[in-house]
Structure 1
Amino acid sequence: MSSVSSISLSGTAKAPRKEAASVEFRNVTKRYGKVTAVDSVSFSIAPGELVTLLGPSGCGKTTTLRMIAGLEMASEGQILIGNRDVTHLSAADRDVSMVFQSYALFPHMSVLENVAYGPTVQGVPRKDAHAMAMEKLALVGLAGLEKRAPSELSGGQQQRVAVARALVLEPQVLLFDEPLSNLDAKLRRRVREDIRELQRSLNLTVAYVTHDQEEALAVSDRIIVMSNARIAQTGTPRELYEEPADLFVADFIGDANILDGTLLDRQGAEAQVRIGGMVLTLPHRGVGPGPVKLAVRPDAILLEEGRAQEGSLSGTVRKASYLGTQIEYDVESPIGSLFVVQYGRKEPIAPGTPVSISFPLQRGIAVIPNA
């Protein structure tokens, strides 16, 4: 089987019998001595929802995931799974399973033995444990590979074994800790699609940790962005991308040009905002008149060769990078250095070329409330 073949959701494989459970954190704090790794965090995950914990290294996302699993105990606060208080319960008593970054497969065991290990140690008869394992291997598209050793599989196939092993106990909640970090870029895209399809088809409650913004945007129902042990913003991928709550989120979720502007008149939910010599109509998002920060996405900027016309700014291309489906530019302008992405153009605008700069896609521009 190819390492990029799709997870199979057909055939005789059966969905987990248990219903998905909710997860709730109520003012949860985790301390290691004098260091606060998670600081009074509250959130909820609905049954059957995939929520990603996203943030830079050291922000507290992995510690939060490990507290859901029971691998770390909360210093303060309350953790509920399926409306049951599990704050002080061990990992074995929480009915959750985790797929680790390293996969943690037993090298001396076959694929089948790896997946059947959980039921076996819980006292399930060997024949039944193997039947449960075969069902889950079929579910993830690995039927026929059950006798192989992990070392005989590709990285993508090993990842699937880890998923099957987590699913075999039919947990109420499935946890993923940086599950794609050991895969190459093309395989990461394929496997994340497989994980998402599996989660939706089986109605699994999933908490997913990554530092990769693109990965989080692709797989999530909602994203919890963490910074310095706290939650910076929670929302759908679109909400976080188009309506960042502060400068950190605007800069962390995708690429953004952070520019200075002036908010003028407000009318209803919108306002006139001056940027350079142009005036744009944007949602004011509760910000009053005066200086503001704007998050401008690279594809919301239009470049055209030649001098600026009325309603545009003048600029000069400093660098152009051809990336196949897109061309990326660094552009010098009166409002600062701009990072611009253009799609569908075959020939880059040459460095040193004068260009006019305009903002026709105003949905890609957001006033930042907490700047």
Structure 2
Amino acid sequence: MTKAGPASVEFRNVSMRYGAVTAVDNVSFSIEAGKLVTLLGPSGCGKTTTLRMIAGLEIASEGQIMIGGKDVTRLSAADRDVSMVFQSYALFPHMSVIENAAYGPTVKGLGKEVARDMAMSKLELVGLKGFENRFPSELSGGQQQRVAVARALVLEPQVLLFDEPLSNLDAKLRRRVREEIRELQQDLNLTVAYVTHDQEEALAVSDRIIVMSNARIAQEGAPRDLYEQPANAFVADFIGDANLIDVTVKSVADGRAEVAIGPVSVPMPARGLGIGPAKVAVRPESLLIGHEADAMALPGTIKKCAYLGNHLDIMVSTAVGELFVIQYGARDMLEPGMPVWLSFAKSGVTLIPPV
């Protein structure tokens, strides 16, 4: 059985309506073959519905869905070369690990021995050799997750889909399993669409991230682009922590803006904005605390300081509101009421539209 290999996925003006409710609203994007793209957003933003439309578990109300250049918009799930790993893993409790993994080829009528060999090779791939005769109830959450991945991989689908795959695991295991998924995706050159509401997970595993909000795409791009150059307040606040400060753009020349942040003036890329009100998104680690009066820095007073092992979480009261600051490395605690001056780092300080 020769396989076609990984395939691209493309959405062209796709909408999904349930009666009067629009779950996905005129969405267009593409996933390159062999890449891992994450659909990221809060509950109810449309990301899981989008994933289910790739799988054929939901049929789009409007628009076109292409897999490997072929129009699959009206095809059923069974007629698409796609596999999905569900949030609940959806393993059959009465079947052993090997029977679960061999389910796909068995149903396709490939014969018991062939199905078993195919399943065994995938179980070995996910590190479960020796576990084949156990039942799901005898496995840890991380092991059950791997069985679900092996079962999804066994037919070598053109596209592999993950729906919140780590949400049932504890924090430490989550990190390990997300690394395993990423390694597997890269080693096998898989096309993966991955859904999560966890921004750290998205930043860690993705080639590209599509941020969704209210059934639409808020922004898409490489993880670093989204973190360092958010398009708007929603993306800035959703991907990592951000201080959102109301500011005034005083002048713009050659793509650079002079921005009034309270009493201080800070130069930064204009990003297409003109003179007038705007917002600046400032990452907590991009606020630098000084202890001597500085005309180029924003004066403030320490409100709170918490020790979190490898960093301090600090709240500073300023003329533009309370700002959240993170200081990494071993540092002395800062006492409430202490005067400080905040300056702005070169990166992690981004001009965004006022609304």
Which category of TM-score, normalised to the shorter sequence, fits these structures?
Answer: over 0.9
8 Å CA contact 1:245–1:370 kept in 2: the answer is no
Change (3 A) 1:186 1:62: same
- Per the alignment, residue 289 of structure 2 pairs with 303
SS in 1 for 2:33: coil
Match of 1:187 among 173, 184, 189: 173
Distance 1:370 1:291 in 2: 6
Cα distance, 1:17 vs structure 2: 4.4
- Per the alignment, residue 259 of structure 1 pairs with 245
Distance 1:193 1:130 in 2: 27
Alignment of 1:70-149 (within 5 A): 70-149=56-135
**Count of aligned pairs:** 354
8 Å CA contact 1:106–1:114 kept in 2: the answer is yes
Alignment of 1:243-282 (within 5 A): 243-282=229-268
- Per the alignment, residue 311 of structure 2 pairs with 326
Match of 1:336 among 294, 317, 321: 321
SS in 2 for 1:362: coil
Counterpart amino acid of residue 351 in structure 1: P
- 2:197 paired with 1:207: no
Match of 1:355 among 337, 340, 347: 340
Distance 2:269 2:296 in 1: 20
8 Å CA contact 1:320–1:330 kept in 2: the answer is yes
Q: Which runs of 5+ in 1 are unaligned?
A: 1-15
- 2:139 paired with 1:153: yes
- Per the alignment, residue 313 of structure 1 pairs with 298
- 2:242 paired with 1:288: no
Distance 1:255 1:29 in 2: 31
- Per the alignment, residue 236 of structure 1 pairs with 222
8 Å CA contact 1:27–1:76 kept in 2: the answer is yes
Cα distance, 1:291 vs structure 2: 1.7
- 2:346 paired with 1:368: no
Q: Which runs of 5+ in 2 are unaligned?
A: none
SS in 1 for 2:44: coil
SS in 1 for 2:226: helix
Task: Provide the TM-score with structure 2 as the length reference.
Answer: 0.97
- 2:336 paired with 1:345: no
Cα distance, 1:334 vs structure 2: 1.2
1:54-99 alpha-carbon deviations (Å, 9 max, x no partner): 1110000000000000000111111110011101100000010000
Counterpart amino acid of residue 214 in structure 1: E
Alignment of 1:27-46 (within 5 A): 27-46=13-32
Cα distance, 1:227 vs structure 2: 0.7
8 Å CA contact 1:285–1:369 kept in 2: the answer is no
8 Å CA contact 1:307–1:314 kept in 2: the answer is no
Distance 1:322 1:106 in 2: 46
Distance 1:299 1:126 in 2: 57
Distance 1:207 1:55 in 2: 14
Distance 1:43 1:169 in 2: 26
Q: CA RMSD in A?
A: 1.3
- Per the alignment, residue 5 of structure 2 pairs with 19
Task: Provide the TM-score with structure 1 as the length reference.
Answer: 0.93
Distance 2:175 2:338 in 1: 36
SS in 2 for 1:196: helix
Cα distance, 1:239 vs structure 2: 1.1
Distance 2:64 2:151 in 1: 28
1:96-133 alpha-carbon deviations (Å, 9 max, x no partner): 00000000111111111110011101101101101000
Q: Percent identity?
A: 69
Distance 1:325 1:198 in 2: 31
SS in 2 for 1:39: strand
